[in-house]
Amino acid sequence: MTELSMFEYAGGAPAIQALAATHYGRCVTDPVLSEVFGDESHPQHVVRLGDWLGEVLGGPDAYTRSHGGHNALLRQHSGRQITEEQRRRFVEIFFESADAVGLPDHPVFRERLREYVEWGTAIALEVSQEAEVAATQEPVPIWGWGPGGAPA
């Protein structure tokens, strides 16, 4: 039997796209995050976020194929001057959105998801302080279950 990826366990593309849409909708209207996200709707951001999350969680490599991979994501965040308060709020809204769309609440899944979001937002915070990001050939990181494996 093959272990499900976190992407599959979450519910696949429909669940991840719902998470991206809900999360983005909350970010653009949030008083702390609206200055980072702007006050206009950008449907392509939802698609990119969903593709990124899907790939990171072990789904199809849609972000790499369609949006430029890890280097493109880093460039999207450079120069944005994200604050620690904004990073924390992004994480908080992410998990509110995960609850709202019904992502599994299994403790192992949520712990690994939180580890990824905390790690990823720390990188976004760091690169946002730089005017430009050096080119990298690093692939999109794939987040898995870790030593304990997938929940039963």
Q: How confident is the model at residue 1 (pLDDT cuts 50, 70, 90)?
A: very low
pLDDT digits (tens, 9 = 90+) for 2-39: 689 999 999 999 999 999 999 999 999 999 998 888 76
More confident residue, 145 or 41: 145
pLDDT tens digits for range 99-143: 999 999 999 999 999 999 999 999 998 988 888 877 778 888 899
Average of per-residue pLDDT across 85-110: 97
The reported pTM is 0.90
Query: How many other C-beta atoms are found inside a 10 Å radius of the C-beta of residue 65?
Result: 11
Residue 85, pLDDT above cutoff 60: yes
Q: What fold, for 7-128?
A: Globin-like (1.10.490)
What pLDDT score was predicted for residue 6? Answer: 97
Task: List the domain boundaries for the chain.
Answer: 7-128
